[in-house]
Amino acid sequence: MLLTNNLGYPRVGAFRELKKANEAYWAKKISAEELLQAGLKIREGNWKTQKEAGIDLIPSNDFSFYDQVLDLSLTVGAIPARYSSLLNKIDRQYNLDLYFAMARGFQEEGVDVTAMEMTKWFDTNYHYLVPEFTKDQAFKLTSEKFLNEYNEAKSLGIETKPVLIGPITYLLIGKEKEEGFNRIDLIDRLLPVYEEILAKLADAGAQYVQIDEPFLALDIDDVTRALYGQVFDKLAAAAKGIKLIVATYFEALRDNEETAVNLPVHALHLDLVRGENQLDTVLTKVPASLTLSLGVVEGRNIWKNDYEKSLVKIKQAVDALGADRVWVAPSSSLLHVPFDLDNEDNEESLPAEVKNWLAFAKQKLAEVKDLAVLADGEVDAETAERFEANKAAAESRRTSPLIHRPEVKERTANITDDDATRTSPFSARKEAQQAKFNLPAFATTTIGSFPQTKDVRKWRADLKKGTITQEQYDKEIAEETERTIRLQEELDIDVLVHGEFERNDMVEYFGEQLAGYAFTKNGWVQSYGSRCVKPPIIYGDVYRPADMTVRWSAYAQSLTNRPVKGMLTGPVTILQWSFVRNDQPRSTTTYQIALAILDEVQALEKAGIKIIQIDEPAIREGLPLRKADQQDYLNWAVRAFRVSSSNVEDDTQIHTHMCYSEFNDIIEDIAAMDADVITIETSRSQMELLDAFAGDFKYPNDIGPGVYDIHSPRVPSTEEMVHLLRKAKAVVPAEQLWVNPDCGLKTRAWPETKAALESMVEAAKILRAE
């Protein structure tokens, strides 16, 4: 019988219970005990769900209150020195206060420390806290979370497979905080902690441990490849009776196949969705001792598995290795998909026909089990029935008129270079725009959203429930918008925004208004910490049936003489933060969205909105993980942005915004987007990220490097921002610089927002005077 293996399960709770508990704890509304209890409840539920679904290898230590990388930093004692005054707050189990201080910053009781830097987990929209290493970095087992959770499951009668991020991946995703060493050289100091972890798990009776090494599916050099062998020799020696599983995902092994299959471990997990074709070559290399875990059920998208297609792969592996050396699994952790499709019952937003094409985390467990049974050959009547239903669903997707719209396909196929080029070069546009807007040097603006307070969310919820009318809702939004316009005027900000109060989320808001989209009620996916997003689902050809944003932008503009920026989300980001069709190339879907955004840009322009920001924070994260695939992606991604933004007047100023991105290797492509102004996240890295814009290649258009971190409630001082702006001025000519926060302010509260913006405007004025 083929075993079923699961790599990780979503942990925010089917109804975001963890988010709610975290936020209540931060607001001091519940105790640490109550928070821990909420976590336990989620873990318990997850383990039982997996057990009932017939999963043999059920993960533990995949739970996290904030981030699994931060958990590991705490586990191995990689706690940056600035948190030392909080070390006395360590409690034996979860070190909650220290932990959240590292995640979110801490400004209380005379202590004032910034949060750790955050960045995207490979090419997903999940963000982790970047481990920080120093030259004399020491590691020491500091938390036993991995053991506690293993024992906890055991006491519930569930044997689990603890999951750890592997030591090489852990070091590689971190950052040196000082010069003079390479973080990978810390491996000898780090390994003893992993050995200690394995020893403790062995003593506790663990049979399997999963070690995630996604870097085995990435571009690594020969030295790192050799290191994999050495490291796993040591881990295998320390594992005592434990069967080690190495998990790779998000890409194919390619040039690392040889290395991966020869690691001294029990099993190797392959992503057969992203690395669809790697099975052929891997099977020729697998030594007799190795079991393969086949990631055939997509861990990062919501489409039903195509059983017939998956069974071909599984049978190919079983023929080569025998059923006892083949496991069936999702391609990656299920962290990246929503909990349970059964919680969706809104026919209007998710028609039954579309719903029948989908599978969320819980349904994917069932698919894994079905596939194992079907591959095994002894098929019970119920599984056989589900197999037939699966075939029918796949067929309906291939032919449904809900999906295919000829006029959209045609418009997309006929895009020309002219459609992707602005009339005049930047210098001429800048002149025209300066004549129109007459903005001061170091012009100030914000990124778009203002606090989404409880009230704002309540109006939205009430409207959905029908307890207030559309009219009442519009009145509230109008008042909040007006207050925000007045506040920005008082603060003396130069380019205003309307505040985005009418938006639930920067992608879902557009998804709800575009054709070809479905959306869910509870399809939450963790983005970072307590922040979740509900990606809409692109199932069919996309177009814009009506104006999407003109009303609120025009209203805001009618209230003031200062320019108000229109706010749109860009085609690549809409694609990237949606669940995307897998039945046509991503580029085709992106061009369809680009044309819909262009229609909106032109409608805004017509309504007198002459500064328009098209957010593209996800350009970088869409970059394929392997170098060899990147340029092709950049070409179509940049072109899609240009299609959405080029067909406008010279004196219409196009902004774009990106956060948490490394730009070094893609700066010329970013420049090729040809936005008049780009605002970026730079404050957490102390303007380090700005270096990319002023290296050998000089970024030609205007730049707003974020001067303060909006992910933390901490209020920065004017001096801090002046300091950052001077740093920026040292590398970018002053006439190219704008002044703005790192990102939108929707997760912040009003008092800190006002205080921070006041200091920001003051900082801009100090720079102007210099």
Binding site for Zn ion (CB under 5 A): 617, 659, 743
746 binds, among ligand GLN, Zn ion, none (CB under 5 to 8 A by kind): ligand GLN
358 near ligand GLN (CB under 6 A): no
User: For residues 59 and 566, which CB has a smaller minimum distance to ligand GLN in the complex?
Assistant: 566
447 near ligand GLN (CB under 6 A): yes
449 near ligand GLN (CB under 6 A): yes
Tell me the three state secondary structure of residue 653: strand
The least CB distance from residue 567 to ligand GLN, in Å, is 5
The least CB distance from residue 745 to ligand GLN, in Å, is 7
User: For residues 297 and 743, which CB has a smaller minimum distance to Zn ion in the complex?
Assistant: 743
CB 168 within 8 A of CB 215: yes
User: For residues 343 and 747, which CB has a smaller minimum distance to ligand GLN in the complex?
Assistant: 747
The least CB distance from residue 750 to ligand GLN, in Å, is 15
659 near ligand GLN (CB under 6 A): yes
User: For residues 527 and 646, which CB has a smaller minimum distance to Zn ion in the complex?
Assistant: 527
617 near ligand GLN (CB under 6 A): yes
**Residues making up the binding site for L-methionine:** 447-449, 500, 615
DSSP 250-312: SS--GGGHHHHHTSSSSEEEEETTTTTTHHHHHHHH--TT-EEEEEEE-SS--BPP-HHHHHH
**Residues making up the binding site for Zn(2+):** 657, 659, 681, 743
User: For residues 143 and 445, which CB has a smaller minimum distance to ligand GLN in the complex?
Assistant: 445
CA dist 719 and 372 (Å) reads 61
Q: At what angle do helices 187-204 and 145-155 cross, to 10 degrees?
A: 20
CA dist 45 and 57 (Å) reads 16
The least CB distance from residue 641 to ligand GLN, in Å, is 14
CA dist 93 and 33 (Å) reads 11
Contacting range for ligand GLN; rule: CB under 6 A; set: 21-29, 257-265, 441-449, 646-654: 441-449
116 near ligand GLN (CB under 6 A): no
CA 28 to chain CA centroid, Å, is 28
- Alpha carbon distances (Å) from 609 to 184, 549, 562, 616: 50, 11, 11, 19
How many residues sit close enough to ligand GLN to count as binding (CB under 6 A)? 13
The least CB distance from residue 571 to ligand GLN, in Å, is 15
317 binds, among Zn ion, ligand GLN, none (CB under 5 to 8 A by kind): none
Restricting to residues 490-519, name those near ligand GLN by CB under 6 A. Answer: 500, 506
CA dist 320 and 148 (Å) reads 39
User: For residues 349 and 747, which CB has a smaller minimum distance to ligand GLN in the complex?
Assistant: 747
CA 194 to chain CA centroid, Å, is 27
H or E element: which one contains 593?
Answer: helix 586-606
448 binds, among Zn ion, ligand GLN, none (CB under 5 to 8 A by kind): ligand GLN
Contacting range for ligand GLN; rule: CB under 6 A; set: 385-393, 599-607, 632-640, 741-749: 741-749
Contacting range for ligand GLN; rule: CB under 6 A; set: 109-117, 258-266, 604-612, 742-750: 742-750
CA dist 552 and 448 (Å) reads 13
Contacting range for ligand GLN; rule: CB under 6 A; set: 42-50, 76-84, 285-293, 739-747: 739-747
Residue with the shortest CB distance to ligand GLN = 744
> Can you give 84-119 as a three-state secondary structure string?
HHHHHHCCCCCCHHHHHHHHHCEEECCEEECCCCEE
CA dist 417 and 635 (Å) reads 12
The least CB distance from residue 713 to ligand GLN, in Å, is 16
Question: Among residues 55, 272, 314, 567, which is the contact residue for ligand GLN, using CB under 6 A?
Answer: 567
The least CB distance from residue 23 to ligand GLN, in Å, is 18
CB 124 within 8 A of CB 90: no
657 near ligand GLN (CB under 6 A): yes
Sign of the CA dihedral 365, 371, 372, 377?
positive
Look-up: residue for tokens 């299920």?
334
User: What values do phi and psi take at 471, rounded to 5?
Assistant: -65, -45
**Residues making up the binding site for 5-methyltetrahydropteroyltri-L-glutamate:** 16-19, 120, 531-532, 577, 621
Half-sphere exposure of 91 (CA within 13 A, CB side): 9
Contacting range for ligand GLN; rule: CB under 6 A; set: 45-53, 371-379, 444-452, 594-602: 444-452
* Catalytic, out of 269, 404, 711, 723: 711
511 binds, among ligand GLN, Zn ion, none (CB under 5 to 8 A by kind): none
CA dist 22 and 288 (Å) reads 47
Please work out, in degrees rounded to the nearest 5, the angle formed at the alpha carbon of residue 628 by the alpha carbons of 215 and 285: 55
Q: Which residues, other chains included, contact 39 with Cβ-Cβ below 8 Å and sequence gap of 6+?
A: 18, 21, 63, 65
The least CB distance from residue 448 to ligand GLN, in Å, is 3
User: For residues 278 and 576, which CB has a smaller minimum distance to ligand GLN in the complex?
Assistant: 576
CA dist 61 and 552 (Å) reads 45
523 near ligand GLN (CB under 6 A): no
Question: For residue 701, what are its two tokens?
Answer: 């258009």
CB 204 within 8 A of CB 147: yes
H or E element: which one contains 528?
Answer: strand 525-528
User: For residues 325 and 657, which CB has a smaller minimum distance to Zn ion in the complex?
Assistant: 657
Query: Would residue 711 show up in a list of annotated catalytic residues for this protein?
Result: yes
CB atoms within 10 A of CB 23: 14
516 binds, among Zn ion, ligand GLN, none (CB under 5 to 8 A by kind): none
User: For residues 162 and 570, which CB has a smaller minimum distance to Zn ion in the complex?
Assistant: 570
Which one-letter amino acid corresponds to residue 89?
K
User: For residues 621 and 702, which CB has a smaller minimum distance to ligand GLN in the complex?
Assistant: 621
The least CB distance from residue 621 to ligand GLN, in Å, is 11
670 near ligand GLN (CB under 6 A): no
Half-sphere exposure of 28 (CA within 13 A, CB side): 1
CA dist 489 and 446 (Å) reads 13
Restricting to residues 743-762, name those near ligand GLN by CB under 6 A. Answer: 743-744, 746
CA dist 279 and 264 (Å) reads 20
The least CB distance from residue 446 to ligand GLN, in Å, is 7
Contacting range for ligand GLN; rule: CB under 6 A; set: 38-46, 138-146, 443-451, 600-608: 443-451
Contacting range for ligand GLN; rule: CB under 6 A; set: 41-49, 312-320, 447-455, 699-707: 447-455
Size of the chain in residues: 770
Pairing of strands 525-528, 531-533: antiparallel
506 binds, among Zn ion, ligand GLN, none (CB under 5 to 8 A by kind): ligand GLN
Question: For residue 89, what are its two tokens?
Answer: 């707050």
**Residues making up the binding site:** 16-19, 120, 447-449, 500, 531-532, 577, 615, 621, 657, 659, 681, 743
616 binds, among ligand GLN, Zn ion, none (CB under 5 to 8 A by kind): none
Which of 180, 196, 166 is CA-nearest to residue 133?
A: 180
User: For residues 3 and 743, which CB has a smaller minimum distance to ligand GLN in the complex?
Assistant: 743
The least CB distance from residue 448 to Zn ion, in Å, is 8
Which of 12, 97, 25 is CA-nearest to residue 63?
A: 12
Residues lying near ligand GLN in the complex (CB under 6 A) are found at 447-449, 500, 506, 567, 615, 617, 657, 659, 743-744, 746
- Catalytic positions, please? 711
